Structure 1
């Protein structure tokens, strides 16, 4: 019984560690010429309606810092425009730990089994960053991160790590698989 409890605890820790890393995806226009991109501007300046304006400011600051670290400078208008969206989606996760039994009762005799079901409400947060060519006004790059989030305040460090992970694929590496 202790071995089963230990393995259950280990599985829980492993599952929790899996949610610590966001799932990153990106897509790029294969015809876009990313080599001429040197400057950027913002597609919009106000926080999108219905979002936390403080979190939006953290994301914007993080994107500014990440692009500056890659050698891009802000201009009006820039060679490309940046926009982002934040979203959250609630889901219910149900897991069954299986039937325990028949098991031996410590006070003697055999007993029937029981089934333990775990039901959890989970919130998945999503950050999407879009890049548009300002000359053609066409979208040229799309990156997204999805991760389980809590209702606690999301720190600037957490935002920085997610933005850095998404923008690691911008501009897209030559021959990158999307």
Structure 2
């Protein structure tokens, strides 16, 4: 009887704890022109006007062009069928938030439980923002596809690993040119 009560208490505690810590992963949001995607066979990079290429832009460009090549597209040396660019809107978001934890345990013939509360001490923050890749039809000079993702970063600009991860996640939603 005691074992059944302990088992039930542990399962209830685990369910409560899982409910408190679960977070939904950020999903890629895609928007596309009503006319559909153009017949893009080659892409060129659309640089930020009148500004030198930042380290973040260089990282993102490198990852975008590599990922598009993997999907079967060519990088244009002059004028591509489509142009690709990105927007990264980053802001600081506080990390420390109050939290509640629930625990259940047993030992030496008894069952016990507890509730804990955490309070933030100090001011920590992370860099969070929205990363967007836009595809522009060169012939129409119009945006035809956009994919965006909410993400967190270690600093104000994505490092190599972060750029690789967010570009891959967003372009996963862009159609392949070659069958897999």
**1:148 correspondence with 2:149:** no
Residue 83 (structure 2) pairs with residue 81 (structure 1): yes
Secondary structure in structure 2 of the residue aligned to 1:78: coil
1:23·1:147 contact (CA, 8 Å) conserved in 2?
A: no
5+ unaligned residues in a row in structure 1: which ranges? Answer: 99-113, 173-178
- After superposition, what is the alpha-carbon deviation per residue over 1:94-152, rounded to whole angstroms, capped at 9, x for unaligned? 74446xxxxxxxxxxxxxxx975337533213321100110111110011122122228
Question: How many residues align structurally?
Answer: 148
Q: CA deviation at 1:46?
A: 6.6
- 1:44 maps to 47
The RMSD of aligned alpha carbons is: 3.8
- Tell me which residue corresponds to 1:109: none
Normalised to the residue count of structure 2, the TM-score between the two structures is 0.64
Is the counterpart of residue 67 in structure 1 residue 68 in structure 2?
yes
Q: Is the 8 A contact 1:26 1:142 kept in 2?
A: yes
**Whole-Å Cα distance in 2 between the matches of residues 153 and 95 of structure 1?**
24
Query: Equivalent of 1:28, from 28, 32, 47?
Result: 32
Structure 2 unaligned residues grouped into runs of 5+: 1-9, 101-115
Rounded to whole Å, the distance in 2 between the matches of 1:153 and 1:27 is 25
Please state if 1:125 is matched with 2:129. yes
Give SS of 2:119's match.
strand
Q: Aligned to 1:159, which of 156, 159, 163?
A: 163
What CA distance in whole angstroms lies between the structure 1 residues aligned with 2:142 and 2:162?
A: 30
Instruction: Tell whether the 8 Å contact from 2:37 to 2:145 is kept in structure 1 after alignment.
Output: no
How far the C-alpha of 1:41 sits from its partner, in A, is: 1.1
